[in-house]
Amino acid sequence: MSPTPAPTAHLRTRPVAAGHWRAFLAVARHLNFRAAAEELSLTQSAVSRQIQSLEDEVGVPLFLRHTRAVELTSAGAQLQRAVGPALERMDAAVRLVRQTAGRKSVAITTWASFASMWLIPRMEEFQRDNPDIDIRIDATDTVVDLDTADVDLALRYRLPGGVEHGAHRLFGEQLAVVASPWLLKSGPPIRRPEDIAQFTLIEAGDAHRTQNLEWLTWRRWFELHGHGKLQPKRWLYFNYAQQIVQAALAGQGLALARMPLIADGLAAGDLVEVLPGYRLDSPLAYWMMVGPRSGQRPEIKAFCAWLMRQADATRQAIGEVPDPDLNDDLDGSSVD
């Protein structure tokens, strides 16, 4: 006759109260019930009851209780390592929420290259003029849903037909051939489009695989200027617009760069536009969208107005003539 198997202990699955964990951590820290009770402003018997209740919930002893000392069991030590950091993170989050409660803030979602190349270099002016407004920039390639996400504004790069109703156009785009001044001084002269082939050409590695980015390729530039079969000295590929421009600044080759993102570098002389009469028109444009719950807040209106002024300056810098069919102006009703 086979032996009867031992009964399986019933494991509780309900959550443990946070107060029990705080009592546990206090006792584990002091290894003394009286000291833990003083820290928590409770009676010693109340702390003992919480620990007993926690041990009942967990199903194993967490402390060895000696006559004059308390010692963690191995299970108690394991829980202390896990629970301690978790409660510290919770407390830190609560402190942060308390500190920011009632403060004015603007949360922006955009992609990394635009944030680093256009938005962040201009932020000092807004912060100087609005010292009481906090700014949070979430730079991600993932499109965030303004209806549900904890952000106020989205700055996006889209075809005109690919933006939501109510989007505000910041500026359009042309692409220009640019290089560092010292690369041009040390290399062969560039007088015609075919001279480009004497240099390394820098390009987005995924441009030929990504919808809409085919507009930004050297191949299209060559075809537009009657040199569809031209091949450069070598290719250099990167994932992001910022990396492409950084490589050009470092003299690693010629870049076909987005004018709105390099206008400041051209004005400062860090980059030089090669063959300025051969810019490439792009159908893509830069847009601002305001979240449905954010438009009425004064700080959002202030930031949007500032952003549109910056966009106007960029349009002037790149020589873009505003399209009268597009709403480039921001009035109070359009942000609501």
- Tens digits of pLDDT across the chain (336 residues): 455 554 444 556 667 888 899 999 999 999 999 999 999 999 999 999 999 999 998 999 999 998 888 999 999 999 999 998 988 888 877 776 766 667 889 999 999 999 999 999 999 999 999 999 999 999 988 888 888 888 999 999 988 887 888 899 999 999 999 999 999 999 899 999 999 999 999 998 877 666 667 778 899 999 988 887 888 889 999 988 999 999 999 999 999 999 999 999 999 999 999 999 999 999 999 999 999 888 899 999 999 999 999 999 999 999 986 554 444 443 333 333
What pLDDT, on a 0 to 100 scale, did the predictor assign at position 287? 96
Rounded Cα gap, residues 125 and 199, in angstroms: 38
What pLDDT, on a 0 to 100 scale, did the predictor assign at position 312? 96
What pLDDT, on a 0 to 100 scale, did the predictor assign at position 295? 87
pTM confidence score: 0.68
What pLDDT, on a 0 to 100 scale, did the predictor assign at position 147? 83
Please provide residue 152's backbone torsions phi and psi, each rounded to the nearest 5 degrees.
Answer: -100, -35
What pLDDT, on a 0 to 100 scale, did the predictor assign at position 4? 52
Rounded Cα gap, residues 27 and 39, in angstroms: 10
Please provide residue 45's backbone torsions phi and psi, each rounded to the nearest 5 degrees.
Answer: -65, -35
Rounded Cα gap, residues 166 and 157, in angstroms: 15
What pLDDT, on a 0 to 100 scale, did the predictor assign at position 12? 60
Rounded Cα gap, residues 124 and 186, in angstroms: 36
Dihedral angle over CA of 113, 115, 117, 118, nearest 10: 130
- Both tokens of 151, joined, read 């952000």
Write out the H or E segment, with its range, that includes residue 156: strand 153-158
- 177 vs 53, 103, 260, 276, 299, CA distance in Å? 71, 45, 13, 8, 39
What pLDDT, on a 0 to 100 scale, did the predictor assign at position 19? 87
What pLDDT, on a 0 to 100 scale, did the predictor assign at position 90? 84
Handedness of CA 28, 30, 33, 39 (dihedral sign): negative
Residues facing residue 273 across a β-bridge: 178
Label the pairing between strands 104-110 and 133-139.
parallel
What pLDDT, on a 0 to 100 scale, did the predictor assign at position 239? 86
Residue 13 neighbours by CB under 8 Å, 6+ apart: none
